[in-house]
Structure 1
Amino acid sequence: MLGLCFVTMMVAVDQTVVGTALPTIVAELNGFELYAWVATSYLLTSVITVPIFGRLGDYYGRRKFVIASIIVFTGASVLCGMSQSMFQLVLARALQGVGGGMLVGTAFACIPDLFPDSHVRLRWQVLLSAAFGIANAVGPSLGGFLTQYAGWRSVFFVNVPIGSLSLWFVWRHLPLIRQMQAGKIRLDWPGALLVALGLGSLQLFVELLPAHGLGAPMLLLCLFSVVTVLALIWWEKRCPEPLLPFEMFRNRSLAALFMLSLLVGFVMFAILFYVPLLLQGGFGLNPQDAGLLITPLVVCITVGSITNARLVTRIPSPNYMLYAGLLLMILSCLGIVFMHQDTAIWLMVLYMIMGGLGLGFVMPNLTVFAQETAGRSHLGIATALLQSVRMIGGMLGTAIVGTLVTHYYIGGVRAAASGSQAAAWFKTLEDPQVLVNLSVQHDFLQQMQHAGMNGAALLEAARQSLVGAVHSGVALALLVAIIAFIWVRRVPPVRLSRGVKPSAPVGE
Structure 2
Amino acid sequence: MSQTVIVQSRPTEKKTYRPMVLAALVISMFMAAIEMTIISTAMPSIVGELGGFSLYSWVFSAFSLMQAVTTPIYGKLSDLFGRKPIFITGIVIFLTGSILCGLSKSMIMLVIFRLIQGLGAGAVQPIAMTIVGDMYTIEERAKIQGYFSSVFGISSVIGPLVGGFIVQYAHWSWIFWMNVPLGILSIAGVVLFLHEGIEKQKRSIDYAGSGLFFISITSLMIVLIQGGVAWSWTSPQIIVLMLVFILGSGLFLAQERRTSEPMMPLHIWKNRFITVANTATFTSGALVIGLTSFLPTYIQGVMGSSAFVAGFTLTVMTVGWPIAALAAGHLIIKIGIRPTAVMGGIAAFIGSLFFITLDPAKGPIWAGTGSFIIGIGMGLTSSTFMISIQNSVQWQMRGVATASNMFMRLLGSSVGAALLGGVLNMRFKSFLSSADNPLGKAVSMNSIDQLLNSAGPHPMPANELHVVQHGLTIALHSVYWGVFALAIVTMIGTFFLPKKHTKQV
Q: SS state of the match for residue 184, structure 1?
A: strand
User: Which of 385, 388, 393 is matched with 1:374 structurally?
Assistant: 393
- Is 2:31–2:179's contact at 8 Å kept on the other side of the alignment? yes
1:71-220 to structure 2, matched below 5 A, reads: 71-117=92-138, 119-129=139-149, 131-132=151-152, 135=155, 138-177=158-197, 181-211=199-229, 212-217=231-236, 218-220=238-240
After TM superposition, the score normalised by the length of structure 1 is 0.90
Equivalent residue for 1:409?
A: 428
Q: Which amino acid letter does the alignment assign opposite residue 380 of structure 1?
A: G
Instruction: Summarize the Cα distance change of 1:126–1:231 in structure 2 as closer, same or farther, 3 Å threshold.
Output: closer
Instruction: Summarize the Cα distance change of 1:241–1:496 in structure 2 as closer, same or farther, 3 Å threshold.
Output: closer
Q: Can you list the C-alpha shifts for 1:402-453, whole angstroms capped at 9, x where unaligned?
A: 00011111222333675x6x334224x544122210244x5253xxxxxxxx
Point out the more displaced range, 287-296 or 203-212. Answer: 203-212
Q: Is 2:347 the partner of 1:304?
A: no
Cα offset, 1:216, TM superposition: 4.5
Cα offset, 1:270, TM superposition: 1.4
Q: Which amino acid letter does the alignment assign opposite residue 463 of structure 1?
A: Q
User: Which of 30, 38, 47 is matched with 1:26 structurally?
Assistant: 47
CA–CA separation in structure 1 for the residues paired with 2:287 and 2:349 = 10
1:456-471 to structure 2, matched below 5 A, reads: 456-471=462-477
Cα offset, 1:43, TM superposition: 1.6
Instruction: Summarize the Cα distance change of 1:393–1:127 in structure 2 as closer, same or farther, 3 Å threshold.
Output: closer
- Is 2:157–2:317's contact at 8 Å kept on the other side of the alignment? no
- Is 1:262–1:392's contact at 8 Å kept on the other side of the alignment? yes
- Is 1:282–1:435's contact at 8 Å kept on the other side of the alignment? no
- Is 1:3–1:174's contact at 8 Å kept on the other side of the alignment? no
Cα offset, 1:198, TM superposition: 1.0
Q: Which amino acid letter does the alignment assign opposite residue 419 of structure 2?
A: I
Equivalent residue for 1:248?
A: 268
Identity of aligned residues (%): 26
Equivalent residue for 1:505?
A: none
CA–CA separation in structure 1 for the residues paired with 2:364 and 2:291 = 18
Instruction: Summarize the Cα distance change of 1:465–1:230 in structure 2 as closer, same or farther, 3 Å threshold.
Output: same
CA–CA separation in structure 1 for the residues paired with 2:378 and 2:349 = 11
Q: Is 2:495 the partner of 1:489?
A: yes
Q: SS state of the match for residue 137, structure 2?
A: coil
- Is 1:133–1:303's contact at 8 Å kept on the other side of the alignment? no
Equivalent residue for 1:451?
A: none
Equivalent residue for 1:425?
A: 442
Instruction: Summarize the Cα distance change of 1:213–1:41 in structure 2 as closer, same or farther, 3 Å threshold.
Output: same
Q: SS state of the match for residue 201, structure 2?
A: coil
Q: Can you list the C-alpha shifts for 1:50-93, whole angstroms capped at 9, x where unaligned?
A: 11121222233212222222222122111111111111111111
After TM superposition, the score normalised by the length of structure 2 is 0.90
CA–CA separation in structure 2 for the residues paired with 1:404 and 1:133 = 26
Q: SS state of the match for residue 84, structure 1?
A: coil
Q: SS state of the match for residue 300, structure 1?
A: helix
Cα offset, 1:182, TM superposition: 4.2
Instruction: Summarize the Cα distance change of 1:338–1:162 in structure 2 as closer, same or farther, 3 Å threshold.
Output: same
Cα offset, 1:38, TM superposition: 1.1
- Is 2:432–2:440's contact at 8 Å kept on the other side of the alignment? no
Equivalent residue for 1:263?
A: 283
CA–CA separation in structure 2 for the residues paired with 1:134 and 1:328 = 18
CA–CA separation in structure 2 for the residues paired with 1:79 and 1:345 = 34
CA–CA separation in structure 2 for the residues paired with 1:137 and 1:268 = 9
Q: Which amino acid letter does the alignment assign opposite residue 436 of structure 1?
A: L
Q: Which amino acid letter does the alignment assign opposite residue 346 of structure 2?
A: L
CA–CA separation in structure 1 for the residues paired with 2:495 and 2:436 = 48
Q: Can you list the C-alpha shifts for 1:242-264, whole angstroms capped at 9, x where unaligned?
A: 11111111223322222112111
Q: Is 2:242 the partner of 1:222?
A: yes
User: Which of 25, 28, 43 is matched with 2:64 structurally?
Assistant: 43
Give the superposed CA RMSD.
Answer: 2.1
5+ residue gaps, structure 2:
1-21
Q: SS state of the match for residue 185, structure 1?
A: strand
Equivalent residue for 2:292?
A: 272
CA–CA separation in structure 2 for the residues paired with 1:304 and 1:39 = 27
